[in-house]
Amino acid sequence: MKKKKLDWVTVGFLSPAFVFFVLFIIVPAIASVYYSFTSWDGVSPDVKFIGIRNYVEIFTSKRFYNALKNTVILTVFISLFENFFALVLALLVDHVFRLKNLFRSIFYIPVILSGIVSGFIWKTIYNYNFGVINSILGAMGKDGMKKDWIGDPKLALIMVGIVLVWKGAGYYMIIYLASLQGVPTDLIEAAKIDGANPWQIFRSITVPLISGAFTINFTLSLINGLKVFDQISVMTDGGPGFATETIVYLLYKVGFGEGRQGYGTAVGIVLLFLIILLNAVQQKFLKSREVQL
Amino acid sequence: MAKETKIRVRERVRVSDIILFILTLCLAVLFVIPVVFAFISAFKTNGEILANPLSLPAKWSLANFFDLFQRTDFFTATWHSLFLTIVSEILIIFIVPMGAYAIERRSTKVTRMIYTFFLAGMMIPFHLYMFPLFKEMKLFGIYGKLSGPICCYIAGSVAFGSLLYCSFLKGVPLEIEEAARIDGCGPFQTFWQVVFPLLGPCTASMIVLNGLGIWNDFLMPYLVLPSDRAKTINVEVYAFVGQFTARWDLIFAGTVISMVPALIIYVLLQKYFVKGITAGAAKG
């Protein structure tokens, strides 16, 4: 069925999807490259071309470096812990002797909540006066350990990170689980007969054989970590101060809050380059460790 | 005989199994507690929530839900969420599988290029192009209307949808299509009457994963829909957090209304979530 020439039927089948994709993603994406070189405010019709001034401002502003730092901390935190928990959950679900499916379903439940809902629930859990954590600490008589979990600039970012790990781990668990089920049992049996202990089996057989899942999950969790928005908006609004302002949040704030959409778009372009860069580094690092059976 | 096997099965349960089970159970409880907490809080009065977050409601009543729909425009929000999700999914299921079919079955240099182009497009974050996108929507006259987000949801589903359908189509035998063609079916008819019904599980995965994304979306409706009335469930919950800082009971009722449809779909169609994620990951 391999054809060389494009015929009208193919065009007819593919063009609706193609038109939507180009019109509502590619065209605005290309336009944003242009707007990133302007002082556009999003409202007025005159758009002034100002060359690379937006980019110069980005790389000389403290606010951007703060956002970059927050983004890196949050993304690394999320990727590491999401993958750690996802792997632990997958191994547990794979080995538990009863109720496998029920456990798998439960671990996935946070994934189906919206960012706003999960953020709100945890905002109340973290609440200083009537939050769950402080109430438990109070009931245990440990009032000294009570904290304003998301009101404290030192804690806020990690507290938001915890919510994201809770919400995301189940998704990556599904991918690890599928990968674990692809590990041939005869290989593990053979290792057992040879006297390998569970840790050796895990280290030398399971890990290399699920390395494909590591690549996928780290790539996905890093990209998703860079794009976190909903939870920050409902839990902290970038605050206290700028303690939880990430690049995406900075972009949104300058674009809509301060009416500087040209500058905001330039921040978006920087974000895209960051995504591409991270992806390339990661692919190189993890792909080289993959083992094909 | 039967009794003997039963005993033998029971004997095989080792201590390590029990420990593993308890560990899994503890983690499962930790994972589900925040959701249970939200459900319980939705039935408590505001005073009860503030007095003790860990207590059960003194009386299980739906008062918060009635209040929510009476005092706020939550009905419109629910309607908008439903409308956006359902209409977008219908259009997506009409548009995306056809495109994937063309890529997979009528493969040419151009279609392969377009496929690569789609996948590369997945890397572009929404936040990058949202400002020009809104300007474009104003130009087309769909800004502030429900059709605005719908167009964007269709565009946003193309890349992942093509990936999912293409990988699934590889497993559908060609002979059936050839037989249909010999019997005189046109390409359009062949696709919709012969191939599409075979793609059922894939379509189910697409609907649950993509539909959930639309149902849960926040930023697009928040920024695109007009602010003189309620937007979607998630936008309302967000707005309540700012507005009614004194009425946590109402906000919890709102979060439950957001969660329940998603949970029902999840419980009923769980295997399609799993299939969709693993199929997407295998190719991505």
Residues of chain A numbered 75-94 and touching chain B (CB < 8 Å): 88-89, 92-93
Is B22 an interface residue toward A (CB < 8 Å)?
no
Per-residue model confidence (pLDDT) at position B244: 66
B66-283, CATH topology level:
MetI-like fold (1.10.3720)
Is B155 an interface residue toward A (CB < 8 Å)?
yes
Distance between CA atoms of residues B43 and A144, nearest Å: 31
Select the residue of B106, B217, B274 nearest A174 (Cβ to Cβ).
B274
Please give the backbone phi and psi of residue A38, each rounded to the nearest 5 degrees, phi first. -125, 170
Q: Is residue A56 part of a domain?
A: no
The verdict on a CB contact (< 8 Å) between A17 and B219 is: no
**Contact call for residues B236 and B242 (beta carbons, < 8 A):** no
pLDDT along chain B (284 residues), means of 10: 49 79 92 92 84 80 85 88 94 93 86 89 88 90 90 93 89 86 86 88 90 92 86 89 77 91 90 84 65
Distance between CA atoms of residues A41 and B265, nearest Å: 42
What digits encode the pLDDT tens for the residues A178-222? 888 888 888 888 888 888 888 888 888 888 888 888 888 888 898
A178: tokens are 């599928």
**Contact call for residues B168 and B279 (beta carbons, < 8 A):** yes
Cα A163 to the chain's mean position, in Å?
A: 12
Q: Is residue A51 part of a domain?
A: no
Coil/strand/helix, residue A39: coil
Residues spanned by the domain of A248: 62-287
The verdict on a CB contact (< 8 Å) between B27 and A92 is: yes
Each domain of chain B, given as residue ranges in start order, spans 2-62, 66-283
Per-residue model confidence (pLDDT) at position B2: 46
From the CA atom positions of chain A, what is the Rg in Å? 24
Distance between CA atoms of residues B261 and B263, nearest Å: 5
Q: Give the residue from A38, A41, A75, A109 with the most B CB atoms within 10 Å of its CB, the best one to mutate.
A: A109
Q: Is residue A108 part of a domain?
A: yes
The verdict on a CB contact (< 8 Å) between B31 and A271 is: no
Q: Is residue A118 part of a domain?
A: yes
Distance between CA atoms of residues A159 and A167, nearest Å: 13
**Contact call for residues B118 and A220 (beta carbons, < 8 A):** no
**Contact call for residues B208 and B265 (beta carbons, < 8 A):** yes
Please, what is the average pLDDT of chain A? 87
Distance of residue A186 Cα from the nearest chain B Cα, in angstroms: 20
pTM for the predicted model, two decimal places: 0.88
Distance between CA atoms of residues A237 and A224, nearest Å: 19
For residue A275, the chain B residues in CB contact (below 8 A) are 123, 125
The verdict on a CB contact (< 8 Å) between B37 and A125 is: yes
For residue B126, the chain A residues in CB contact (below 8 A) are 227
Contacts 24+ apart (CB under 8 A), A254-257: A255/A42, A255/B130, A255/B131, A256/A42, A256/B223
The verdict on a CB contact (< 8 Å) between A32 and B27 is: no
What digits encode the pLDDT tens for the residues A72-96? 999 999 999 999 999 999 999 988 8
Distance of residue B25 Cα from the nearest chain A Cα, in angstroms: 8
Select the residue of A17, A120, A174 nearest B158 (Cβ to Cβ).
A17
B155: tokens are 């565009």
Distance between CA atoms of residues A259 and A262, nearest Å: 9
Cα of first residue to Cα of last residue in chain B, in angstroms, is: 51
**Contact call for residues B137 and B143 (beta carbons, < 8 A):** yes
Number of domains in chain A: 1
Is A289 a residue whose pLDDT tops 70?
no
For residue B49, the chain A residues in CB contact (below 8 A) are 130
Average pLDDT over residues A104-129: 91
Average pLDDT over residues A21-47: 87
Residues of chain B numbered 36-95 and touching chain A (CB < 8 Å): 37-38, 41, 49-54, 94-95
Per-residue model confidence (pLDDT) at position B109: 84
**Contact call for residues A70 and A246 (beta carbons, < 8 A):** yes
Please give the backbone phi and psi of residue B172, each rounded to the nearest 5 degrees, phi first. -95, 125
Residues of chain B numbered 106-145 and touching chain A (CB < 8 Å): 106-111, 114, 118, 121, 123-136
Is A1 a residue whose pLDDT tops 70?
no
The verdict on a CB contact (< 8 Å) between A116 and B118 is: no
Q: How confident is the model at residue A5 (pLDDT cuts 50, 70, 90)?
A: low
Whole-complex ipTM: 0.87
Residue with tokens 């193919």: A10
Residues of chain B numbered 180-209 and touching chain A (CB < 8 Å): 187-188, 191
The verdict on a CB contact (< 8 Å) between B124 and A25 is: yes
What is residue A221's DSSP assignment?
H
- Among chain A residues, the shortest Cα distance to B47 is held by A130
Task: List the CATH number of the domain containing A269.
Answer: 1.10.3720.10
Residues linked to residue A9 through DSSP beta bridges, in sequence order: none
Does A240 sit behind a cis peptide bond, omega within 30 degrees of 0 on the bond before it?
yes
- The full length of chain B comes to 284
Residue with tokens 């420990």: B19
Average pLDDT over residues A65-77: 93
